[in-house]
Amino acid sequence: MKPITLQLKKRLKYRIDMSCLSTLSKNSSSLASKIIMYGNKQFKIKDLFSIKGDDVNNIVIKSSVHLLDNIGKKLRDINITVYGDVGYSLGEQMISGKLEVYGNTLDYTASGMKGGSIFIYGDTGNYTCGKSNSLNEGMIDGLLFIKGNVGNNSIERMRRGNIIIEGNIGDYGCHQMISGTVMIKGKIGKFFAEEIKRGSIFTKDKNLVKNYNKSNNAEYNFTSFFIKEISKIISKNLFINNNSLVRYCGHKDTNNLSEIFLFKG
Amino acid sequence: MITQLKSGNVYDPHNKIFNVKKDIFIEDGKIINKKDIKSKIDKVINCSDKIVMPGAIDLHTHIGGGKVNIARLMLEEFHNEIDPNYDSSSIIAPSTLKTGLKYIEMGYTTCFEPALLPINARQAHAEMSDIPFIDKGGYALLGNDDYFLSLLKNKSSQSTINDYVAFILKATQSIGIKVVNPGGINAFKFNQRALNVDEKSKYFNITPREIVEKLTKALYDLGVPHPLHVHCSNLGIPGNFFSTIETIKAANGLPIHLTHIQFQSYGNNGDRGFSSAAVEISNYLNKIDNLTCDVGQIMFGQTVTMSGDSMSQHRNHKHAHPKKWMCMDIECDAGCGVVPFKYQDKSFVNALQWAIGLEIFLLAEDPWKVFLTTDHPNGAPFTSYPHLIKLLMDKTFRNDILNQLPKGILEHTILHTLKREYTMDEISIMTRSAPAKILGLEKKGNFSNGSDADITVYNKNIKDIEEMFAHPSLVIKDGKIVVENGQIKEYIWGKTHTVKPEYDKSIEKDLSKFFDKYHTMKLDNYIISDDEMHRLVGSPIYVNNCSRKRKE
Amino acid sequence: MASQNDNKNLVCPFCSLHCDDVSVTTDNNQYKVNESNNVCAKKIDTYNLNNKSMLLPKKGAKVVSLSSALEDIRNIIKGHNETLIINHGVDLSGVRSMLNFASQKNYIIDHINSKFLYQNIGVVQRTGYMATSLTEAKNRADVVMVFGNQIFDKSPRLLEKVLGAKNSLYMKKKKELILIGDFSENIIKEIKKKCNVTNVKLDLDLTNDFLNATSLDSSEAVKGLKKSKLSNIKNIINKSKYLVAIWLASDFIKAKNPKKIISSISKYIVDRNILSRAACMPISGSLADATSSQALTWTTGFSSRIKHSEGTFKHDRNAFDSKHLIDNNNVDVVIHISTISPDKLKLNKNVKNIVLGHPNTTFTMAPDIFIPVGIPGIDYEGIMFRTDNVVSVALKSIRGIKLPTTQNILDKLA
């Protein structure tokens, strides 16, 4: 079986809600005649996309543009690969499966994510991995890998899960983080990790640890294992070298219990 | 045009007709006697394997007004049911359209919003006008507004109070008066956190008993058909059945209606300090004649509690699920509180609440005195009515569910010993004729000559009671076929039911002064005229008769 | 027709307080506010017709008949694929017909003030919240915390009617006002006549720190605030029996994190309710924000930014944001409905602009079609919601110009 491949037939002007991809029945012919709105008119998917392949568990979207919203919203057990940019709310409240994007995404990427994994080989917008519309929880679980930069107000109220960012992160990152692990290679914006409760952050930004207590006799066996495992999942070497890690834990003034690992690089 | 429903099994409790093969004739939206038919019959609908009942009436369901809108707004994440026939709003806080659709599909044709804040009445009516199909009405909230309490404090005469009550009925286009936690909402604004029936409130020095006394008397004197609709003090607190019985006594033998009595029938015995007082309450209910009640059954699952009782809702906010809630003090008039809640079958308290509601249903002897409600959405959404009917009519079904609940509750409930099963006759009484009678709706809930042709036809061949009540094969509203075999045939819009007892207009002068001085709007703007109801709010009104002339 | 020198009661449609105690004299369809000392009189007068008012529909610069304007609109919307309706303020009947219109043609609806609305709604949707309404604040509040600085300009009679009201059921003393933000001297002078004022000049981003510092057991300091002043404020607040916090969400838009300001105020108020009473009272904008959000919520379940598609209204806070849609050129036709304010409408040249508006409306560029419509509360009767969302007022009609209502036009187009 070959993955279902969707290719846009024409240049788009209006936004399209693609959340119907997540609720596919196990019959590829039903996809073609699935109704989506384009502008204020109803279309069948086959009117806008050329469709090839028949494996409903693997979907490929080619020549995607930033007007395709809600790709992989509430996704369950399906793999979607996108070549090109995507719109708002990629993988919002995703439950399981895998999303890969070879392009940039707009706001609310991976908001309220509950599980599965998302790989973005480009930049993401604001509110990445934030609270989804009206839900009070941010990321609940899952893995998010971002090759590029991340916008403002990202990673709000994260509860569990792992986030790896190879680029920079904007202002107000990790606000009210409850738990989980965030690894950031690049620069960190203003007001980072305010009102954080617990959780682990890997960074090389020394400013962050100003008011933290240094753990003098910390062991790094687990981090070494963890870094190896993460490297396996993202199938390349992580930017963190276990030997250079220094652990800081607990803020001096507030009662937050978060830990920060400084690395050199 | 005349329509004939041919040889159905007719239930018309008002006329003492139960399960009798009979024809029903409809002309111009009204029921018509066979002998009065002058022209030829245009349409014959064969009902030979059908049960024919008047359209059902829900006398306590929160379907309009500010608090419902707060719930809709608050619970946005639940708005995502993918169901092509409806909009995406959630059934625990449905949009107006969905409310109408779901009610009419169940064969409910008349519904009453029980907590219409006088100051919020215009919004509540505008909102309810947007509910298709059903007829509706509201009970105005009194008993916590500063004007009424100052009347009591100044020892005003009963006749002045009667004038005020009648004025409120007219100004807010309501059909009855409800009191929520008498005096308690007001006391909460003065930072009082509990108020017992004989406890004096902090500022006004007035007990809930006095408030209930005065209001029941006022409604009796005015001849308003629906007795005072009471949400008692201490709602939901273990041991509150004492205050419930005291509240009933406060009516001094005059008619009184206790609403969602399930939440009011808690004892404080047992190792957990929470027990059922259903026996005490239903014994009392069976003994006296002036009391009617609706149950407010709970069902397990996510819902949202909304009430005017800001005192108890603020107390309950810690139990919110999901963790968000809102309470509001409103315009020296009343308050409101919205707290989402999930009833869990694993929880001892919730499971016992479920059992208490059913105990009351089964122990209450007279179906004319107890009504079927879930206090939508406080106990459960109204769409669970068919399930509730099955619980009442099917002992085995009931006990199967009971046995899945935590073992501990069997020691605290007598539900498993209750052998009673409701009959179809009794269901037809408690969902149709009894509510119509207690509300004074002469044209509803019966098949007498000239009554409104609101008819629900169920398919007798469906063996599962729940399924039968959930999907009537035919629903007729005002003589028009609106639902046929589960399909909506035609969109129609109902009316608003009101009652307008007479009163001495001089009360308006005093009120007008009060408004100019202390309110932020004028009295003129507070009153909703009949014309405004029709043209701006969007719903024509129907004035029901008072049961008799005003007494002094 | 309104006769000459007719005294009439105006239910004011122009700001979210919707005062109903303004009497006006009408003369040849011009109206004049009677009380000369009324703070709003000047403001209301500017809504009178003037020699630049447009009473007939226009196509570009050309005056056309109503029927031909409607025909043109029909042609425009037929020939295009994505239409956005922006509500700049209209009464309930207008919102209802807007919903009806959009549901038949699959259009997007947004209110121009949605972004402020969402800041306030965010608190209700995510945490606990205690609210109150104008009359409660008037009669019960002893201490009022005011955040921001535009609030008295946007709701000019808030001070006179509520905060500094002469009569109050339970408050025999003047209210204590704590002004937080950067208030101008003139306003403070004005407020001091009616209330006791403590002025706290504070960067609003420090709201959270300030509120934390005012709790009894706190010893924290706040940047830019003297210790003596802070302890003074502590005293006032801790004596209060009914504390009210008011703000105007649009005041926070320049702050670094507006949502955080509102959520910290709300959390502070909720915490105070453990022992004492307190409540929030956000003041909404003056473009019938409350009317739009209430009516949309009860018909669709969502307060703004909805699109009708596949038989129901769908909501997306990002994708149906009118500003993004227009800026990114994702719509063809924009229908502006602006019946309350004659302020300059921003139009975009990349889209077809249709305006149903106040006769005095001005534009940044000429719209493709303009139809003057009646002003609710001036030209026709209607219903609008007040800022506290619980009170709705019945607007009256005070002059006799025969302008079509928004409802008339939309129902004809639907």
B335-356 residue pLDDT tens: 999 999 999 999 999 999 999 9
Range of the domain at A217: 67-262
Cα distances from A252 to residues A249, B149, C351, in angstroms, run: 9, 54, 56
List the single best residue of A14, A40, A93, A126 to mutate versus C (max C Cβ within 10 A). A40
**Paired tokens of C44:** 């209301």
Does pLDDT of C153 surpass 90?
Answer: no
Residues B236/B316, Cβ–Cβ less than 8 Å: yes
C60: left (phi over 0), alpha (psi -120 to 50) or beta: left
Q: Are A51 and A32 within 8 A, CB to CB?
A: yes
**Residue with tokens 């014994």, as numbered in its chain:** B283
Pick the residue from chain A with its C-alpha nearest to C125: A134
Q: How many CB pairs under 8 A join A and B?
A: 10
Assign C407 to helix, strand or coil: helix
Question: Does one domain contain both C130 and C274?
Answer: yes
Interface of B with C in 266-295 (CB under 8 A): none
Residue with the bigger pLDDT between A256 and C279: it is: C279
CB contact under 8 A, B77 and A133: yes
Interface of B with C in 41-60 (CB under 8 A): none
**C178 and C268: one domain?**
yes
The CATH superfamily label for domain B56-439 reads Metal-dependent hydrolases (3.20.20.140)
At residue A80 the predicted structure's pLDDT band, cuts being 50, 70 and 90, is very high
Query: Does A244 touch chain B if contact means CB atoms closer than 8 Å?
Result: no
Residue B152 has pLDDT above 80, yes or no: yes
Q: What is the mean pLDDT of residues B187-212?
A: 94
Residue A25 pLDDT more than 80? Answer: no
Report pLDDT for A208.
Answer: 87
Work out the average pLDDT over C378-385.
93
Give the domain CATH number at A186. Answer: 2.160.20.60
Residue C311 within a domain: yes
Quick one: C368 and C342 in the same domain? Answer: yes
Contact: C81, A14; criterion CB under 8 Å: yes
Q: Does C100 touch chain B (CB under 8 A)?
A: no
State how beta strands C392-395 and C382-385 pair.
antiparallel
Residues 15-34 in C contacting B (C-alpha not used; CB under 8 Å): 17, 20-21
Residues C84 and C233 in one domain: no
Instruction: Work out the minimum CA distance from B377 to partner chain C, whole angstroms.
Output: 15
Summarize the confidence of residues B187-207 as an average pLDDT.
94
Per-residue pLDDT, B151: 95
- Best A34, A134, A178 member to test B by mutation, with max B CBs in 10 Å, is A134
Q: What is the pLDDT of residues C187-229, one digit of tens each?
A: 999 999 999 999 999 899 889 889 989 887 777 888 888 889 9
Query: Residues of C with CB below 8 A from B516's CB?
Result: 21
Tell me what pLDDT residue B89 has: 84
Q: Are C261 and C354 in a shared domain? A: no
Contact list, C307 vs chain A (CB under 8 Å) = 37
Residue C297 lies in a domain: yes
Judged by average pLDDT, the poorest of A67-76, B75-84, C335-344, C359-368 is B75-84
Same domain for C75 and C105, yes or no, is yes
CA distance A172 to A170: 7
Shared domain check, C354 and C299: yes
Chain C residues with CB-CB distance to B521 below 8 A = 20, 135, 391, 393
Per-residue confidence band for C4, with pLDDT thresholds at 50, 70 and 90: low
Structure confidence at residue B83 (pLDDT)? 61
Distance from CA of B76 to the nearest CA of A (A): 6
Q: Note whether C296 contacts B: Cβ–Cβ < 8 A.
A: no
Contact partners for chain B, using 3 or more CB pairs closer than 8 A, are A, C
Q: How far is C325 from chain A (nearest CA, A)?
A: 9
Same-domain check for residues C106 and C162: no
Contacts of C394 (CB under 8 A, 6+ apart): B122, B525, B528, B532, B536, C11, C381, C382, C383
The answer to the question of residue A32 being in a domain is no
Number of domains in chain A: 1
- Three-state SS at B121: helix
* Residue A27 belongs to a domain: no
State the pLDDT at residue C149.
Answer: 86
* Domain residue limits at C391: 58-113+287-413
pLDDT at C224: 82
State percent of chain B over pLDDT 90: 92
With CA atoms as reference, the chain B residue closest to A112 would be B77
Q: Which residue of B has its CA nearest to C137?
A: B331
**Segment 380-399 of chain C within 8 Å of chain B by CB:** 381-383, 385, 388-394
Token pair 């003098």 is found at: A216
Among the partner-chain residues A23, A132, A136, the one whose CB lies closest to the CB of B324 is: A136
B506-515 residue pLDDT tens: 999 999 999 9
Q: Looking at beta carbons, which residues of chain B come within 8 Å of A132?
A: 77
Instruction: Please provide the average confidence, as pLDDT, over all residues in chain C.
Output: 90
Mutation to test the A interface, candidates B73, B77, B81, most A Cβ within 10 Å: B77
Q: Is the pLDDT score of A175 beyond 70?
A: yes
Q: What is the DSSP letter of C14?
A: S
Task: Work out the average pLDDT over A77-92.
Answer: 92
- Of all residues in chain A, the one with the smallest CA distance to B77 is A134
Residues of C in contact with A107 (CB under 8 A): 318
Residue of C nearest to A36 (CA): C310
- How far is the C-alpha of B109 from the C-alpha of B480, rounded, in Å? 12
A to C CB pairs, distance under 8 Å? 65
**HEC string of B449-485?**
CCCECCEEEEECCCCCHHHHHHCCCEEEECCEEEEEC
pLDDT band at C1 (very low <50, low <70, confident <90, very high): very low
- Residue C373 confidence (pLDDT) above 60: yes
> Is the CB of residue A128 less than 8 Å from the CB of residue A110?
yes
- Give the pLDDT score at C2: 42
Residue C270 maps to which CATH number?
3.40.228.10
Q: Which amino acid is at C115?
A: K
Q: What are phi and psi of B276, to 5 degrees?
A: -90, 135
- Best probe of the B interface among C391, C395, C411, by most B CBs < 10 A, is C391
- Of all residues in chain C, the one with the smallest CA distance to A42 is C310
**What pLDDT band is residue B139 in, cutting at 50, 70 and 90?**
very high
Domain borders along chain B are 56-439
A134 to B324: CB separation less than 8 angstroms, yes or no: no
pLDDT band, very low/low/confident/very high, at C247 (cuts 50, 70, 90): very high
Answer yes or no: is A2 within a domain.
no
> Which pLDDT score is estimated for B119?
94
| Chain A residues in contact with C83 (beta carbon < 8 A) | 40
> Does C82 sit within 8 Å of A131, measured CB to CB?
no
Q: Confidence class of residue B82 from pLDDT cuts 50, 70 and 90?
A: low
Distances (CA, A) of B497 to B62, B172, B176, C173, C221: 16, 11, 10, 45, 60
A28: pLDDT confidence band, cut at 50, 70 and 90? low
Whether residue B530 has pLDDT greater than 80: yes
Which among C256, C318, C330 has CB closest to A13?
C330
Q: Of A25-39, A60-74, C247-261, which gets the smallest average pLDDT? A: A25-39
Let me know: does B395 contact B282? Beta carbons within 8 Å.
no
- Mean pLDDT over the full length of chain B: 94
Main-chain phi, psi angles of B43, to 5 degrees = -140, 130
Closest residue in C to B75 (Cα) is: C125
B216 burial (CB, 10 Å; 0-12 / 13-18 / 19+) is: buried
What mean pLDDT do residues B246-268 have? 95
Phi first, then psi, for residue C180 (nearest 5°) are -115, 125
- Compute the distance between CA of residue A231 and CA of residue C77 in angstroms, rounded to an integer: 54
